[in-house]
Amino acid sequence: MNTSSKPSKDIDPRGPRFGAGITAVLLLITIVLGLVELPLPGDILARAGQGSFLQLAVITAIFAWGTFAGISRHPWGFLFKKLVRPRLSPPAFMEAPEPPTFAQLVGLLVTGVGIVLHLAGVPYGLVAAASAAFIAAFLNSVFGLCLGCELYALLVRARLVRST
């Protein structure tokens, strides 16, 4: 029982899993596009206009939104709260928002590397980064295994990150 007068910031753990499912589908589309259209040689503007790059740029922006605005203000979280959660029973437990928010940072870094590699003309760099992010999103959405959350827990135990 929470006896403090401060409202709880804990979140429904099904929300990040729902968002991870949407993200996994978007990343899978990005991977397919990246396999079809390799980076164009020479012209950085042409590479920036490719569908796979634009798709990954949008996903990276969504990861940035979750990182800097917090997981509770994430677009997929909003969809979950408005469309999905009202149709579900109450969650068995709530979780702290910090681990999934940290996971958004990890996704931002991984997809950011893919963007840089693609712009640099590295063949399959975008595909490799999108694949790594897809694996993490898939594991979270299907099995509830959040790799970014696990990394957060390791960093807290190592006292490299302060838990709130």
SS (H, E, C) 102-119: HHHHHHHHHHHHHHHHHH
pLDDT score recorded for residue 152: 95
What distance in Å separates the CA atoms of residue 41 and residue 38, rounded to the nearest whole number? 9
Q: Phi, psi (5° rounding) for residue 60?
A: -65, -40
| Single-letter amino acid, residue 77 | G
pLDDT score recorded for residue 21: 96
Q: Quickly state the pLDDT bin for 7 (edges 50, 70, 90).
A: low
More confident residue, 72 or 144: 144
Which among 19, 26, 34, 14 is positioned nearest to 104, based on CA atoms? 19
DSSP-based three-state secondary structure for 87: helix
Q: Phi, psi (5° rounding) for residue 95?
A: -130, 155
pLDDT score recorded for residue 42: 74
Q: What is the pTM of this model?
A: 0.88
Q: Token pair for residue 14? A: 């099904």
Read off the pLDDT of residues 51-110 as tens digits, 9 standing for 90 and up: 999 999 999 999 999 999 988 889 998 899 999 989 999 999 999 999 999 999 999 999
| Single-letter amino acid, residue 2 | N
What distance in Å separates the CA atoms of residue 89 and residue 142, rounded to the nearest whole number? 19
Read off the pLDDT of residues 10-42 as tens digits, 9 standing for 90 and up: 989 999 999 999 999 999 999 999 999 876 677
More confident residue, 7 or 3: 7
More confident residue, 159 or 110: 110
